[in-house]
Structure 1
Amino acid sequence: MMRSEQYERVLRYFDRDGDGKISASELSHRLALMGGELKVKEAEVAIESLDSNGDGLLDLEDFIGMMEEGGVEEQMNDLKEAFEMYDADGNGFITPKELKAMLTKLGEFKSIDECKLMIKQFDLNGDGLISFDEFKLMMQ
């Protein structure tokens, strides 16, 4: 089965009224049936960010764009930006000191020892630092 046919099938699943487009209420409803939760207002914001023609609906082209490029690539870019905010010295690792500084900016006050414990939970190689790969796992 071609990829576009798969996307069409998924689009049809979400498209309750059969107009070939996904509305915010359709998106919210179907996600609820699948065990997710997305309020209609949140769905409207999500659709607005992906809607290429400004009609407030996701058509097949928007849906394919979301699935192929925007979704994964955008998430990865967002993760990289977040990681860079923590990695103040830009060396590719988050240290306990950098974690403490960022948490303080966010209004969470932790000691260096608490930050070391937080890092230890996701530090796969035991170096006392968080690499980007470890950060991705932490954020999932």
Structure 2
Amino acid sequence: MLRSEQYERILRYFDRDGDGKISASELSHRLALMGGELKVYEAEVAIETLDSNGDGLLDLEDFIGLMEGGGEEEKMKDLKEAFEMYDADGNGFITPMELKKMLSRLGEFKSIEECKAMIKQFDLNGDGAISFEEFQLMMQ
């Protein structure tokens, strides 16, 4: 495992504005520079599940948790929380309309047809919605 100083140095790399915390846009931007792809809304969802104090940013403690990875139980809890954010009516499925609403709240505006196409990519049973099991596979 890395030492605290090494985590701090990595955090500073991601922290473009120098406030000691990583925002969704900073995370998305730096990953893009490294050849990765994480849209801002995806980074916001990731940060929301890892953010221990609710400020919408990753501080050093959150960042260490991300880098070292929590236990399987913690990961499952975070995944369920992320799923529930999208499953607005709580029926256990993410529909195209729920996906559209969540994405628009995150500043990513998609049509219903675009949301249907996004869901279709991971809809293993063809019911037009994403179950928690399908969501788990999608997030791996």
Q: How does 1:33-112 map to 2 (within 5 A)?
A: 39=10, 41=12, 44-46=60-62, 70-112=70-112
Quick one: distance in 2 between partners of 1:101 and 1:46? 27
Task: Calculate the TM-score normalised by the size of structure 1.
Answer: 0.56
Quick one: distance in 2 between partners of 1:46 and 1:107? 24
**1:114 match:** 114
Q: Which runs of 5+ in 1 are unaligned?
A: 1-13, 15-21, 29-37, 51-65
Quick one: distance in 2 between partners of 1:101 and 1:110? 9
**1:24 match:** 4
Q: Identity of counterpart residues, as a percentage?
A: 64
What secondary structure sits across from 2:128 in the alignment?
coil
Contact 1:24 1:47 in 2 (8 A): no
CA RMSD of aligned residues (A): 2.9
Of structures 1 and 2, the larger Rg is shown by 1
- The Cα shift of 1:46 comes to 4.8
- How many residues in Structure 1 have an aligned counterpart in Structure 2? 94
**2:40 match:** none
Deviations 1:7-44 (A, max 9, x none): xxxxxxx4xxxxxxx5224668xxxxxxxxx8155894
Quick one: distance in 2 between partners of 1:103 and 1:46? 24
Deviations 1:63-122 (A, max 9, x none): xxx78xx42111111110111110011100000010000001000100000000000000
Q: Which runs of 5+ in 2 are unaligned?
A: 15-58
- CA change 1:24–1:104 in 2 (3 A) is same
Deviations 1:34-63 (A, max 9, x none): xxxx8155894357659xxxxxxxxxxxxx
Task: Calculate the TM-score normalised by the size of structure 2.
Answer: 0.56
Quick one: distance in 2 between partners of 1:47 and 1:122? 29
